[in-house]
Amino acid sequence: AQTVTQSQPEMSVQEAETVTLSCTYDTSENNYYLFWYKQPPSRQMILVIRQEAYKQQNATENRFSVNFQKAAKSFSLKISDSQLGDTAMYFCAFMRNNAGNMLTFGGGTRLMVKP
C-alpha cells in the first residue's frame, strides 16, 4: 500500500516571500503520478500542479513549482511570491499505475500567508 506523509502540519509565510511545503511517499511502483491540491476555506479541492514520475523535469505552474526527487521519494511544493489568496490547506496526493485515478492523500499542511 502507498503512504503519503506531510511532515509540516502548519506553516506561515509573509506575503511576497517564498515557502516550500514538504511531501514524502512510499511506494514500490515505478510509474505513478503526484499531485498537489489546495483546499481554501471554501472547502473546494483545487488542483495546483501535477508531476509524472517518468519525467525528470520538475513541473511548474506560474508561481508554483515542485522539486521531485524520485530516488528519495520526495515531492515538495514551492510557492513563490506568496499571496494572501494562497492561504489554504495543501494536500500532496499519489496516484499509482493501473489503479484508475484513485488518489492517496497526505495529511495536509495548513499554510497561512501573512500581510
Partner 1 sequence: DAGVIQSPRHEVTEMGQEVTLRCKPISGHNSLFWYRQTMMRGLELLIYFNNNVPIDDSGMPEDRFSAKMPNASFSTLKIQPSEPRDSAVYFCASSVGGWTEAFFGQGTRLTVV
Q: Evaluate whether 111 touches 48 at the Cβ level (below 8 Å).
A: no
With b meaning 16 or more CB within 10 Å and e meaning fewer, what string describes 82-114? beeebbbbbbbbbbbeeeeeebbebebbebebe
Residues in the chain: 115
Cell of 10: 502548519
Contacting partner 1 within 83-112 (CB under 8 A): 91, 95, 99-108
Least distance from C-beta 44 to partner 1, angstroms?
5
Q: Evaluate whether 22 touches 90 at the Cβ level (below 8 Å).
A: no
- The answer to whether residue 35 forms part of the interface with partner 1 (CB under 8 A) is yes
Closest CA to 88 of 23, 38, 21: 38
Least distance from C-beta 19 to partner 1, angstroms?
21
Candidate ranges 10-18, 19-27, 43-51, 61-69; the one touching partner 1 (CB under 8 A): 43-51
- The answer to whether residue 9 forms part of the interface with partner 1 (CB under 8 A) is no
Single residue of 18, 44, 60, 83 touching partner 1 by CB under 8 A: 44
Least distance from C-beta 93 to partner 1, angstroms?
8
Enumerate binding residues for partner 1 (CB under 8 A). Answer: 33, 35, 37, 42-47, 50, 52, 91, 95, 99-108
